[in-house]
Chain A
Amino acid sequence: MAEVDPTDAIEFDRSVVGVDYDVGSHEVTEEQVVGFAMAIGETNPFYLDKEEASKGPHGVLIAPPAYYTSIRLQPGPDPQVKFGTTSFNASQHCEFYEHMRVGDTISAKEQISHVFAKTGRTGTLVFTVRRTTYSNQHGRTVMMVESSNVRRDMTQ
């Protein structure tokens, strides 16, 4: 007998899955790069010190890898999953191709790559996987992030 996929029973907007949406662009500024690097406690002068960075291999300040988390974008596609009472970040997968540099204009596209349910001992969990791709003004992809968010019903 074929196993029943618990995803079939979950109500969500299936039309957004696998479709890329433009979610805006962002100017990488010295203020934001330095502010972010300081909040994390970075010590690398290439992120913090304009003078030092200008003498380094990049010629300008570059952003730390996790800088993307401070980029404000328009809201991405929402699959409107009708399940659960709370949600959490379950995992994150980043691929870094090039540095983001001060002066870059980064544009982002976002898609819901996957929505799926899993049923285990603690009940059902519904995962939403969102993929965001960041490109620079030269049209090159600088990084990709896949975040998985989990919804669960805490009243179960």
Chain B
Amino acid sequence: MSQVYFEDVEPGYELAPLIKEPTREQLDAFTKAWGTTTGRFVSDEAAQTEGFTGVILPGNMSMAFLAQLMTEWAGSEGKLKRLEVDFRRSILPGDRLSCEGLVTDTEVEDGENRVILDVYIETQKGERALQGTALVILPNKP
């Protein structure tokens, strides 16, 4: 894994998108790890009574994709400090998700190289299902 450095980024810098196509099997593995056995994330029937076509992904799972985008980008010397997201639309297994990040600001404060990003997940329909911000600390170039 190559390391990105603080000096490499400036506002407008776009991260390479992380593409996710969560399957029903992955959703089941996630809810199992989570310990959820009923409701709209597990049962098609339960989801349908709430007006969905079938099971939907928990917000926690899609948020984890954005966390992965951040930690993969920050590399082993960088650090994800904050992640804040709004859940705007439901995501279904089989959706094609593009997890994206855009640097909006950089600053050095308290000895930390802070990078502030807009982060979001766009579906194949072009809708932003999750939208938020992140704070990542990056190392200086050696």
Known: A32-B33, A35-B29. A46 touches B20 (CB 8 A): no
- Within the complex, which residue of A36, A86, A91 is in contact with B86, where a contact is CB–CB below 8 Å? A91
A70 at the interface (CB under 8 A from B): yes
Q: Mark contacts of A67-82 with chain B using CB atoms, 8 A cut-off: 1 yes-contact digit, 0 otherwise.
A: 0011010000000000
Number of interface residues of B (CB under 8 A): 35
Minimum CB–CB distance from A6 to chain B (whole Å) comes to: 21
B80 at the interface (CB under 8 A from A): yes
B35 at the interface (CB under 8 A from A): yes
Minimum CB–CB distance from B56 to chain A (whole Å) comes to: 10
User: In chain B between 49 and 98, which residues have their CB closer than 8 angstroms to a CB of chain A?
Assistant: 50-51, 58-61, 63-65, 67-68, 70-72, 76, 79-87
Q: Report the bound CA distance from A90 to B26 in whole Å.
A: 23
- Within the complex, which residue of B33, B35, B65, B84 is in contact with A92, where a contact is CB–CB below 8 Å? B84
Q: Report the bound CA distance from A44 to B75 in whole Å.
A: 9
Q: Report the bound CA distance from A43 to B44 in whole Å.
A: 30
Q: Report the bound CA distance from A79 to B80 in whole Å.
A: 32
Q: Report the bound CA distance from A93 to B134 in whole Å.
A: 10
Q: Could you tell me if A46 and B63 are in contact, using CB atoms closer than 8 angstroms?
A: no
Known: A40-B64, A66-B63. A91 touches B84 (CB 8 A): yes
Q: Could you tell me if A91 and B83 are in contact, using CB atoms closer than 8 angstroms?
A: no
Q: Report the bound CA distance from A40 to B82 in whole Å.
A: 19
User: In chain A between 1 and 50, which residues have their CB closer than 8 angstroms to a CB of chain B?
Assistant: 32, 35-36, 38-44, 46
Q: Could you tell me if A66 and B67 are in contact, using CB atoms closer than 8 angstroms?
A: yes
Which 4 pairs show the lowest CB-CB distances between chains A and B?
A66-B64, A39-B29, A69-B60, A89-B59
